[in-house]
Structure 1
Amino acid sequence: MLKKIKSLITKFSGFELFVGMRYTRAKRKNHFISFISLTSMIGIALGVAALIIVLSVMNGFQKDLRTRILGVASHLEITGSNNMLSDWSNIAESSLKRQHVLASAPYIMAQAMLSYGQGVQGAIVRGVLPVAEDKVADLGRNMKVGSLNDLREGEFGIILGMDLAYNLGAQMGDKVVVMAPQGQFTPAGVVPRLKQFTVVGLFGSGMQEYDAGLALIHIADAAKLYRMDDKVSGVRLKLDDLFIAPNVAAAISKDLNNPLNTHSAYYVSDWTQQHSNFFKAVQMEKRVMFIILTLIVAVAAFNIVSTLVMAVTDKRADIAIMRTFGASPGSIMLIFIIQGALIGVIGTLIGAFFGILIALNIDTIIPFIEGLFHVKFLAKDVYQISEVPSDLIWSDVITIVIMSFILSLLATLYPSWRASKINPAEALRYE
């Protein structure tokens, strides 16, 4: 079959194109054929448009989620065994000399219990160096009240996530008690270490995980609270290209954990590992939606089979006359391939046009629908974001258009082959 199609293409002339386009435009006595052609075209258009819109939304969701996560997290993290790093300054300095590394910042990460009034909440406390931290993450941009520079050594200030502050009932200037899980020995027994911190800022990243479970303090205050001395939990790095983070992480890990270094082990993780569940779920959903919506296009495309089978039956006399005047079976086959392909091309182009139009304006369309019907499509506590994002990737559009055209072309092969096998004498016997 493939060899036959190849030979048809090499023998292609204007005759087949002319007749194929004429059959597509011509009014038919059998209006049912025209109806099937129209529904096939509409079905392909709807399927293509739905694919472009859904994939754009999935891409937008992935991009928005990545932006929100990296607004608090970093591209790379280097830590040691037992979540401690003693020679962090040397590691930070050597990392900055690497290609693609833009900035580094030390941090201390530990669990704590926060208390204010009657409110008690468990949280992750991150000790940061404000000047350096603002270079590896976009926390400064996510500050709702105050700034990272309000964290000063020895003043024991704390910045809370918006949801964490709400759950505690704490506001700016309030005194929040931070309880470290590591206890201290006293004559009365082991008691937790307590320290009172003043709320100096609030941040909102848009991620429920961080807004409800993260608190920031100065790294020097964290070292005193958790008795880290001159050690830190690790070093955070920012790269010039976030998508090469796995490669850079592998290279750094290989260098740090070389056979000559037997004193300590280093662990290097990138953002794709730290939040792999989020991105794997989105990627899987994208693939499943692509398969499901491709079936819609396939069903619509294979309606072309019905259209062409009826068209061939309707044009038996015309086929016989063309064969009598010297048209080859290949030419007859090509005529109906062109007719079916035109239906697929027109439907694909219409669907691509409306799909691109809606995908580029979904940030306006969705709020209008939500306001009109008083509904909310995305709940922040469930989907991590509250707005429907869209990110149109042209490579996806090209893939969808090519896939739709190929399905349409495949649907034309059988009825076109049947048309080429019609015997002129048999077809004209009863005419």
Structure 2
Amino acid sequence: MNFPLYIAKRYLRSKSSNNAINFITYIAIVGVILGAASLFIVLSGFAGLKDFTLQFSTIVDPDLKAETAIGKSFLLTEDEINKLDRLDDIAEYSKIIEERVFITSENKNTLAVLKGVDEHFQNVVSIDSVIDYGDWLEQKSNQIVVGWGISNSLSLGVLDFANPINVYVPKPGKGQITSTKNAFNTVKAVNVGVFFINETLNDSYIYAPIDLARELLNYESNQFTSLEFKLKEGVDEAQAKANIQTILGDKVILKNRAQLNDAIYKMLNTENLAVYLIFTLVLIIAFFNIIGSLIMMILDKKQSLGTLFKMGTTVKDIRKIFFYQGSLMSVVGGLIGLVVALILTMLQKTFSLVMITPSLPYPVNIKIENFFIVFLTISVLGIVTSKIASARITKSLVQHV
């Protein structure tokens, strides 16, 4: 039998004869419970916000995207196309031509990014789900689909043939521009739909058939700026990435969904770390109550400790008693806090107790790693504080009773 642990459990279950010490102990345990519950709830809330934010950014992002490594575009040979078509990892892929353009309608104008897509694009990403009104474009046409921001700034309607949209892009070449009339390639387009994804994409992107983009930029039939891939279910992403890279070579850089949203991921992860550190600091302050409670308990049990010492218990074992007691208080309090937090987050997911707007509940996401993070944090802080408190026990303290 572990004698110090046995005594620690007895001390933990029994009440002190001093009500003030009992009150301090209860406050310490409640502080640990609330601290653990708060940390888990906040981490779950940030996990929910992260997923909520990324669902709007990644809904039009492919599983993998091949971007040109040098220059603005690359050439795709027939042999490479045949190899990509035969690759088992790929469910579908789309050829893309993307460039910054200048668009005008009546007396209004704005800069935008024109994304020319082929007929496979709808199968690669869920673009249909973000069309707010109107329809998706048809290939072999002059139709475009614009974002909400561009639609508002240019006052664009849907199928407004009376007010055509002019899309301009500078002609490639060298030397001075002698005539503005010959400086731009231009096409007339008609808007057939408006999408809503997020503020950045809404204000900057327009989609067009790939032939329209090719005509505007004078690209060759096998010249593209990127390829977007949808992988088959269960396919290993790293292996698929390596297989595609082998086919396309060094002329492209392959990025997954996280790498395409690198800035957003870094921002969200930094915010998550900052919140974790802030709440850990609050927990550290709460654990000072554990130290105070243990020291008060040591003084209260001074007579009993002296008896144990005279019976042959070493000072080391007496220290272990209060080390175990503090650790048990922390672990038990942390587990209770986690259970409370788990119940509250489940209630939020089920009944939407807290709302951001009348129709939008605050998103939470229960992750098993957050459970272990909180439990590990509580355990480490509990062990450290218990060690600090138990170190106050000296031979002279228990000897002179």
Identify the residue that residue 95 of structure 1 maps to in structure 2. 84
Which residue among 389, 392, 398 is the counterpart of 2:363?
A: 389
SS at match of 1:41: helix
Report which stretch shifted further, 312-321 or 342-351. 342-351
Q: Does 1:312 align with 2:298?
A: yes
Identify the residue that residue 192 of structure 2 maps to in structure 1. 200
Instruction: Tell whether the 8 Å contact from 1:92 to 1:105 is kept in structure 2 after alignment.
Output: no
Give the drift of 1:390. 2.2
Cα distance in 1 for partners of 2:340, 2:138 equals 50
Cα distance in 2 for partners of 1:92, 1:351 equals 57
Which residue among 82, 95, 111 is the counterpart of 2:100?
A: 111
Cα distance in 2 for partners of 1:19, 1:400 equals 28
**Alpha-carbon distance change, 146 to 421 in structure 1, aligned in 2, over 3 angstroms:** farther
Instruction: Tell whether the 8 Å contact from 2:103 to 2:168 is kept in structure 1 after alignment.
Output: no
Give the drift of 1:198. 1.7
Cα distance in 2 for partners of 1:319, 1:337 equals 14
**Alpha-carbon distance change, 79 to 324 in structure 1, aligned in 2, over 3 angstroms:** closer
Q: Does 1:37 align with 2:28?
A: no
Which residue among 200, 214, 218 is the counterpart of 1:227?
A: 218
TM-score by length of 2: 0.85
- The C-alpha deviation readout for 1:370-392, integer Å capped at 9, x for no partner, is 66xxxx9xxxxxxxxx8743222
- The C-alpha deviation readout for 1:127-148, integer Å capped at 9, x for no partner, is 1123x11222111222222443
Letter in 1 for 2:204: G
Cα distance in 2 for partners of 1:96, 1:293 equals 51
Cα distance in 2 for partners of 1:51, 1:167 equals 43
Which residue among 310, 318, 323 is the counterpart of 2:309?
A: 323
Give the drift of 1:243. 11
Identify the residue that residue 86 of structure 1 maps to in structure 2. 75
Q: Does 1:12 align with 2:2?
A: yes
Give the drift of 1:202. 1.8
Output aligned runs, 1:268-279, within 5 Å.
Answer: 268-279=254-265
Identify the residue that residue 285 of structure 2 maps to in structure 1. 299
Cα distance in 2 for partners of 1:295, 1:356 equals 22
TM-score by length of 1: 0.80
SS at match of 1:59: helix
Q: Does 1:399 align with 2:387?
A: no
Identify the residue that residue 7 of structure 1 maps to in structure 2. none
- Please tell me the root mean square deviation across aligned C-alpha atoms, in Å: 3.1
Instruction: Tell whether the 8 Å contact from 1:308 to 1:340 is kept in structure 2 after alignment.
Output: yes
**Alpha-carbon distance change, 66 to 101 in structure 1, aligned in 2, over 3 angstroms:** farther
Which residue among 106, 126, 144 is the counterpart of 1:138?
A: 126
Letter in 1 for 2:165: V
Letter in 2 for 1:389: P
Q: Does 1:171 align with 2:157?
A: yes
Report which stretch shifted further, 52-61 or 277-286. 52-61
**Aligned residue pair count:** 391
Cα distance in 1 for partners of 2:324, 2:75 equals 72
**Alpha-carbon distance change, 220 to 288 in structure 1, aligned in 2, over 3 angstroms:** same
Identify the residue that residue 274 of structure 2 maps to in structure 1. 288
Cα distance in 1 for partners of 2:143, 2:135 equals 11
Q: Does 1:56 align with 2:47?
A: no
**Alpha-carbon distance change, 255 to 129 in structure 1, aligned in 2, over 3 angstroms:** closer
- The C-alpha deviation readout for 1:15-67, integer Å capped at 9, x for no partner, is x4553333233333433322332232222222222221222233223333333
Gaps of 5+ in 2: none
Cα distance in 1 for partners of 2:103, 2:260 equals 25
Give the drift of 1:12. 0.9
Which residue among 201, 220, 231 is the counterpart of 1:239?
A: 231
Output aligned runs, 1:325-344, within 5 Å.
Answer: 325-344=311-330
- The C-alpha deviation readout for 1:400-424, integer Å capped at 9, x for no partner, is 1122023212211243344473565
**Alpha-carbon distance change, 399 to 235 in structure 1, aligned in 2, over 3 angstroms:** same
- The C-alpha deviation readout for 1:243-302, integer Å capped at 9, x for no partner, is 9656754664455336xxxxxx33433333332111111112222222222222222224
Give the drift of 1:161. 1.4
Cα distance in 2 for partners of 1:43, 1:26 equals 20
SS at match of 2:224: coil
Q: Does 1:73 align with 2:61?
A: yes
